Amino acid sequence: MTHKYRHIKFLGIIFLVALGLALAYFGFQKVHAPSPTSSTTPQKTNPAKPVFDKTRYSISDPNSLWVVVNKQRPLNPKTYAPTDLVVPNAPLRVPGNDSMQLRAETASAMETMFAAAKAAGDPLMVSSGYRSYNYQVSLYGSYVAAHGQASADTFSARPGYSEHQTGLAVDVEPLDKQCDVDQCFANTPAGEWITAHAYEYGFFIRYPADKVAVTGFEYEPWHLRYVGKELALEMHTTHTETLEEFFGLPAAPNY
């Protein structure tokens, strides 16, 4: 063996030793790397899933998409009026009436939802949207006159306590007016579509059948509240039906 060949053999040995060390190192890393399916890494501690921030928007500011209005939480001020009301581009029960208006973002989301409902064969229209403080004074007053205050309080909010005054709530009904503003709306094709799909557009049914003791209002499958897609999806995913429960607020069965 010449000097030249001994040199090549020496380099070969160095190379093989280095290769062996490298394979041993990476093999060790692989064995000790946490497995995605390992029982030591449960889903709830997975940093990839962000925690929903419930404090992101105010629940007291009447301009906030997340404002919570109920019999214990009047609007502040009680005479609040939104500044971005628009008339939705949608079928309206009372065209030209102020109560057909909604806040701009709510109107836009509702138009998208109505288009999807129509495409599914369940066309809808706006039954009632924004109601001013003064409108609610006359509406609630007429119900009290007709039914007495105790009865009126179960289905109509006192002025300053109405979600409709935020411009974020809308009563919907089928275009054919089947079961309009009636609990049987829930069992119509349009009502079933709303129940299944409203959250996809940022809405939810504000007064569910089994939450009268929480919301203080009878079942209203037609009364939708807009909170944005993010919160609506989170409530849907966590099976939370009311804003009171979601935000850990006291139930509001009475004033």
Q: Which of 220, 230, 241, 245 is catalytic?
A: 220
State the minimum distance, in angstroms, from the CB of residue 211 to Zn ion: 15
| Residue among 31 and 146 whose Cβ is closer to Zn ion | 146
Task: Give the residue, chosen from 69, 223, 226, 246, that forms a contact with Zn ion under the rule CB under 5 A.
Answer: 223
Contact 195, 189 (CB under 8 A): no
Rounded to the nearest whole angstrom, what is the least distance from the CB of residue 156 to Zn ion in the complex? 9
Q: Which stretch binds Zn ion (CB under 5 A): 69-77, 82-90, 219-227, 235-243?
A: 219-227
CA dist 250 → 153, 225, 242 (Å): 18, 19, 11
Say which residues have a Cβ less than 8 Å from residue 213's Cβ, sequence separation at least 6. Answer: 251, 253
* DSSP code of residue 129: -
171 makes contact with Zn ion (CB under 5 A):
yes
Give Cα separations from 111 to 53, 134, 170, 206, 207 (angstroms).
28, 27, 12, 19, 22
Q: Which stretch binds Zn ion (CB under 5 A): 37-45, 163-171, 209-217, 224-232?
A: 163-171
Active site residue 105: no
Looking at 41-49, 54-62, 169-177, 191-199, which segment touches Zn ion (CB under 5 A)? 169-177
Shorter beta-carbon distance to Zn ion: residue 136 or 188: 136
DSSP of 185-225, one letter per residue? GGGSHHHHHHHHHGGGGTEEEEE-GGGHHHHSS--EEEEEE
Which residue has tokens 């939802």? Answer: 113
Binding status of residue 173 toward Zn ion by CB under 5 A: no
Active site residues: 220
Give the binding site for Zn ion (CB under 5 A): 171, 223
